[in-house]
Structure 1
Amino acid sequence: MSDDKQQTGSPDRDRINVNEDYEVQYWTRTLGVSREALEAAVKAVGPTAEAVRTHLRR
């Protein structure tokens, strides 16, 4: 599924797409991590923001 920027909503905001630079910039700033740490977390637990937050707290 492509990232349709016209259809925003909770499902889109709750997922982290590491293939979009603007999303990586937002999430690295919001979570206070590097791009590499963000990508590793998404790879480990999937793209949901809550799962990534939980993983990074460990």
Structure 2
Amino acid sequence: MTPLDKPLRREVLIGDESYTLTVDPEGLKLVRKGHRKGLDLRWEALVNGDAALATALQASLETP
């Protein structure tokens, strides 16, 4: 297998919006194209089963 030692970025089209998905050694980040803030998911949260809780908490902290 190839180790994940640097960020891997891909463009994803969700509905009519373009997003950038970054996969790196710390986790995943999904950001709407042209923006800086997005959804962060750490590998530890995913493995521990805290992913849903972490995502909900992050969404509740974002300003509309």
TM-score relative to the length of structure 1:
0.30
Question: Which structure ranks higher in relative contact order (CA pairs < 8 Å, sequence separation ≥ 6)?
Answer: 1
> Which of the pair is proportionally richer in helix?
1
Higher strand share: 2
